[in-house]
Amino acid sequence: MTIAISGASGQLGRIAVQALKSHVDAGSIIALARDTAKVADLGVETRAFDYTKPETLQVALLGVDVLALVSSSDFADRVGQHENVITAAQAAGVGRIIYTSILKADQSPLLIARDHRKTEEILTNSGITYTILRNPWYFENWTASLPIAVEQGAMIGATGDGKTTPATRQDLGEALAAVAAGNGHDNMIYELGADTAITLNDMAAALSRHVGRAIPYNDLPKDSYAGILASVGLPEGFAAVIADAEAGIPEGWLSTDSGDLSRLIGRPTTTLDAAVAEALQN
């Protein structure tokens, strides 16, 4: 069985390729990326793969049995890009597609869920066997900025005191690899999330313990938070999507108690304390 991972040069894709090596022989793995030089170090076959160039995709997918379609990070036309890949997979005879979606995509009102919901519809109507991994918010979306929070003396966000179940990219990449290599996942949808729900106040408390001084969490109105994100360099549209997602946390759109993630990776999910410690070490 040949398994291809798209977006293999990205953070999640690289983790998934490395994790997949513990399940199958490296010779049966293909790393797909726009720039193959960026995945040459992964020790597997590489093929050029650009979601925006549909005329090139079918050839790149020839001989692939299972395709992990890591969702595009280009917000310009994500649905169109994903459809390009699904159409090419149909033509190339790919047997199953695994798609990385977002929690509760079929119901969620969050801006970030729209493209995922449309992509899920395209995939489930394609006739190709599918597995949908509805990913939670990445821990790293918050922990990457913890050194800045320490420097400035506070964390900021727009989550209120809402609970959420974020997971690390490592956990989610391992889940993707397990599903790609395993059986029993045909036409399944998994809602992925950490074993324990947290708030950003919990994260601020964990951060405070690690640095030995109080680092509070300051909650902001959604629009104010989006403005701050844009002021530090995020495109305005993307900043609005991030702020909208955080503001939806108190309503439960980015949390789950399914237990799917820990079952797929065969161990407890990474804890808040461990995620914070790793962020401060890097």
| Span 99-136, pLDDT tens digits | 999 999 999 999 999 999 999 999 999 999 999 999 99
41: in domain: yes
231: in domain: no
pLDDT at 28: 98
243: in domain: no
- The whole domain housing 118 covers 3-136+167-192+257-264
Q: What is the mean pLDDT of residues 51-61?
A: 96
Q: How many CB atoms lie within 10 A of CB 130?
A: 20
98: in domain: yes
pLDDT at 74: 84
Q: What is the mean pLDDT of residues 44-62?
A: 97
235: in domain: no
| Residue 76 pLDDT grade (very low, low, confident, very high; cuts 50, 70, 90) | confident
97: in domain: yes
CATH number at residue 36: 3.40.50.720
- Average pLDDT in the chain: 97
Q: What is the mean pLDDT of residues 88-100?
A: 98
Task: Give pairs for 71-77: CB < 8 Å, separation 24+.
Answer: 71/7, 71/99, 71/100, 71/101, 71/115, 71/116, 71/119, 72/7, 73/7, 73/10, 75/115, 75/237, 75/238, 75/241, 77/52
pLDDT at 98: 98
Burial readout 26-59 (b: 16 or more C-beta within 10 A, e: otherwise): eebbbbbbbebeebeebebbbbebbbeeeeebbe
Q: Is 131 within 8 Å of 98 (Cβ atoms)?
A: yes
Give the C-alpha separation, 82 to 52, whole Å: 9
Q: What is the mean pLDDT of residues 236-256?
A: 95
158: in domain: no
Q: What is the mean pLDDT of residues 216-237?
A: 94
Give the C-alpha separation, 122 to 116, whole Å: 10
Give the C-alpha separation, 102 to 81, whole Å: 17
Q: What is the mean pLDDT of residues 25-45?
A: 97
pLDDT at 53: 96
251: in domain: no
The pTM of the full predicted model, rounded to 2 decimals, is 0.96
In which residue are the tokens 């395709």 written? 67
What percent of the chain clears pLDDT 90, i.e. is strictly above it?
95
pLDDT of residue 282 exceeding 80: no
135-163 confidence digits (pLDDT tens): 999 999 999 999 999 999 999 999 999 99
Q: What is the mean pLDDT of residues 55-77?
A: 94
Count structural domains, the chain. Answer: 1
- Those residues whose C-beta lies under 8 Å from the C-beta of residue 232, and which sit 6 or more positions away, are none
pLDDT of residue 75 exceeding 90: no
